[in-house]
Every structure is written in structure tokens, then in C-alpha cells.
Amino acid sequence: MKYTIGSANSYKGLGNNNFSNIAPPTAGRVYGVITTENTPTAAMFKKAGGFNAIGTVFYLNYNESIGIIGSMDDTFLDSCNIAKPLSSQIANYPVLGELVNILNLPSSDTQQSPGSTFPYYTLINLWNSVQQNAQPANINANLGITFVENSNIRSLLPFEGDYIIQGRQGGSIRFSSTTKLYSDLNEWSSIGNEDSPITLITNGLKFDPKKSYYVEQINKDDSSIYLTSTQQIPLQTDRTGTLNPLTKPIDPSKYFNAQIIINSDRVVLNSKRDEVMIFAKSNIELNTKNIINLNANERVHLNSNTVFLGTVNNQLPTEPLVLGDKLNTILENLLDSLYSFGASLSTVVGSPEGAPAMDINAAAESLLNDIDRINNNLEGILSQQNFTA
């Protein structure tokens, strides 16, 4: 992108800008937030600068806002001040009624107007709540057009050194580590090194009315992604006991090396253009109590040195599959021989009693030769790679 605002000479004045008269930080109460083309209103969206103004708030200075309920109409919002978020990389916008810290800092016009400022804001953590920190003039005031307060939302319980990002409605990212001292408070500190990192991404934290905080619970939260290093995670699957008597994989709840766990009511992997690839150094395990479907518009390939179908007493099956084309060829040859034998018999003429039946003998000898030849080829109809129970 090429910026054309200002001229080359404009940059010469940057060193002469004087911001010594910048007003000290003040507090403001929010009455509107630009989030869409019609939020709070289409006119205010345009006034604030359109999509370049996403996150801009309409506010009144805190002392001036005492007792003012406000409204979402153009007339009231037009009377408010506006401020942009201090950071554009991390979107953390207020809901209605929340308080913001207003900082008057250099504006985008300083190249043309040295010393010009613009209000920027950061959120004031009034109640130390991840759900909302509003102080509306009316206790029954809405906190937004679509935002709905949920009284069940709690803050995550932090452990020393944690870096936590938590949304307003029960989603979170926690960068943490093994904390054996508090292994009774979280599910990832029973084993592992104290400095072993773990990252937990959770959506839909399980509410417990007996507790005033959240701690991730992989079997109760709605959806989770865990990235571990040396931790053991008590994941419960729908299969207990030996997962596979032949390969004997480690149960997910007992594994404690680096792993990624994705857990939810449903997991979908979708590739919009190319392949979905799954590679494993040892085994790939697919387990379900219901049905495994393999669907393809063209074909399904099972390619291996050996393919086994089923087990016999937890042992590999030993019955080889039959090769269809070879079996068909052998059966065709056998039928041809039997047909020839039958045709020869159908034209036999009676011989004097005790005389050799030369025609019958010749036909029988030909059939026996064919049977020997077919018998020698029977071994070739059995697969050397595919076995079934």
C-alpha cells in the first residue's frame, strides 16, 4: 500500500511537534461502539470513518455522564466524543456502559498540523470481570445491541507465570506449565517437570456453581485443544481397557510425552482444495463403538505388504483371501474339462463284453490330466497379502 497523505516537506516538521500541552488521561463512559456498518447506526459508522473506524467508541467524559442513560439514536451519539482503540492488532472493544481510559496522543494529522492530538482508549477493569465491567447510569440498561450478559461466566484461576487470554463468554487461551503444588486444582500437573510448558485452548468452559472461578476440565468443557509437553491429561474416551490387543497403544489418559489433544462433541477436518494427510511414526488407531465409513466417488485403496480383516481370539487371522480372476480361470478350465468329458461319454458306442472301452478310457485320462493341472494351480488363487477371519 502506498501512502500519499502529506508531502516530503511534511516530514521535516515531525521533529518540531510539541506535545507538551497534551491533556492528562481522563475516564469516559461508552455509549456506542463501531462494529458493523449499522452498529451503532449507519450514520455514525460513516461519521467515524467507515471500516477504518472499527472499534471506535462514542463516549462522554465520566463526570459529564453521571445520570445520563443515553440512547442509540444519531442525535445523542452525535453529541458524544469519539476515541479509537489504542491497539489495532488486538481487538478488545468495550460493551455499552463500560468505562475507558482516554489518552490524548498524536493524531494522523501531525504531519500537516504539528502538535495535533486524537483520543485513544484502553478499557478500565472496573469489576475485574471477564464478562463485563459496565457502570451504566441505569441498572436495567442494555450492554449492547446483541451482547447478552451471562451471570455464569467466571475468570480462569491463574497459576504463577500463566499468560491468559479470556473472552467474555467462556472462551480462553492459557499458556501455562506444570505446577505440582496445585495438582489438586488443575488436571495437568500430576506428573511432569515444573518448567514443562502447556497450552490450553478452550471454548465453553464448564460452569460450577460451587466455585467462583474456572479451571479447564477436558472432559466437561465444550471444546478443547491441548498442546502438551510432559503432562498427563485425564482424557476419557468411549473405549476402556485394551484399545487394540495387537498393537497395544498407550491409553490417551496415561500418555505423558508431547501430544496434541482435540476434544469436542464433533471433530471435522476439511480440506477445501488438496489432501488431508495423517502420518504416524508407529500406528494409526481408529476406534468407534458404531461404524467406520470410507466413502469415495472414485475408489478406495488399502495398500500394505499385508492386510488383515478381523481377528481370531485377539490373534491375526490366517485365512488368505481368494484371488477372483485366478479362481475364475481355474473354474472355467474345470468346467471345460467336465464338458469335454461329458461330450465324449455322450457318443460312446457299446463294445463287446470284456473288451476295453477305448473312448471312455481316453476321455477319463484327459479329465484326470486336466484335474492334475488345475490342482497344481490351486495354490495360486490364494492371496499372499490379504487375510481374513
Q: At what angle do helices 324-346 and 358-377 cross, to 10 degrees?
A: 180
pLDDT digits (tens, 9 = 90+) for 148-201: 999 899 999 999 999 999 999 999 999 999 999 999 999 999 998 888 999 999
Give residue-wise pLDDT tens across range 282-292: 998 888 889 99
Count of domains for the chain: 3
Nearest to 111 by CA among 250, 8, 218, 2: 8
* DSSP assignment letter at 151: T
Expressed as residue numbers, the domain containing 258 is 152-290
- Identify whether residues 111 and 166 lie together within a single domain: no
Verify that 172 and 214 share a domain, yes or no: yes
Contact status, residue 246 vs residue 316, Cβ threshold 8 Å: yes
Of 290, 312, 340, which residue sits at a domain end? Answer: 290
Mean pLDDT within 262-271: 96
Asked if residue 352 has pLDDT above 50, the reply is yes
Give the β-pairing of 26-33 and 99-106: antiparallel
Instruction: Reply yes or no on whether the pLDDT at 15 is more than 60.
Output: no
**280 within some domain:** yes
Cell of 315: 490373534
Please name which of 40, 70, 69, 42 lies closest in space to residue 56, comparing C-alpha atoms: 40
Q: Are 357 and 348 in contact (CB under 8 A)?
A: yes
Q: Do residues 90 and 197 both lie within one domain?
A: no
Domain assignment present for 12: yes
53-87 pLDDT, tens digit per residue, is: 999 999 999 999 999 999 999 999 999 999 999 99
Q: What are phi and psi of 174, to 5 degrees?
A: -120, 125
Reported confidence tier of residue 368, pLDDT bands at 50, 70, 90:
confident
Q: Is the pLDDT of residue 240 over 80?
A: no
- Tally the C-alpha atoms within 13 A of residue 172's C-alpha that lie toward its C-beta: 28
Whether residue 243 lies inside any domain: the answer is yes
Query: Are residues 117 and 240 both part of a single domain?
Result: no
pLDDT tens for each residue of 121-154 = 999 999 999 999 999 888 888 899 899 999 899 9
Q: Do residue 208 and residue 96 come from a single domain?
A: no
Query: Based on the domain organization, do 158 and 95 belong to the same domain?
Result: no
pLDDT bracket for residue 309 (50, 70, 90): confident
67 in a structural domain: yes
Given this model, what pLDDT does residue 346 score?
Answer: 61
Q: Which helix (H) or strand (E) holds 308?
A: strand 307-309
Report pLDDT for 378: 74
- Residue 47: pLDDT band (50, 70, 90) is very high
Residues 239 and 362 in one domain: no
pLDDT of res. 349:
61
Q: In what order do the strands lie in the sheet with 163-166?
A: 163-166, 171-177, 197-203, 223-227, 260-263
Over 50: is that where the pLDDT of 13 sits?
Answer: no
Task: Indicate whether 283 and 203 sit together in one domain.
Answer: yes
Model confidence at 11: pLDDT above 50: no
**Percent over 70 (pLDDT), the chain:** 90
* Rounded percentage of the chain residues whose pLDDT exceeds 90: 55
> Are residues 159 and 116 part of one domain?
no
State whether 156 and 286 are in the same domain: yes
Whether residue 89 is contained in a domain is answered as: yes
What is the residue-averaged pLDDT of the chain?
Answer: 86
Same domain, 169 and 264: yes
pLDDT over 50 (residue 374): yes
Rg (CA), the chain: 39
State the distance between the two ends of the chain, measured CA to CA, in whole angstroms. 66
Q: Which residues lie below 8 Å from residue 154, measured CB to CB, with a gap of 6+?
A: 130, 205, 207, 211, 212, 213, 214
Domain boundary among 237, 268, 290: 290
Distance of CA 261 to the CA centre of its chain: 10
Q: How many CB atoms lie within 10 A of CB 192?
A: 21
Report whether pLDDT(44) > 60. Answer: yes
DSSP category for residue 25: P
Asked whether residue 173 falls in the same domain as residue 281, the answer is: yes
* Chain length of the chain: 389
Domain boundary among the residues 290, 307, 329 is at 290
Q: 382 CB contacts (<8 Å, ≥6 apart)?
A: 320, 321, 322, 323
pLDDT, average across residues 316-326: 83
For residue 112, being part of any structural domain is answered with yes
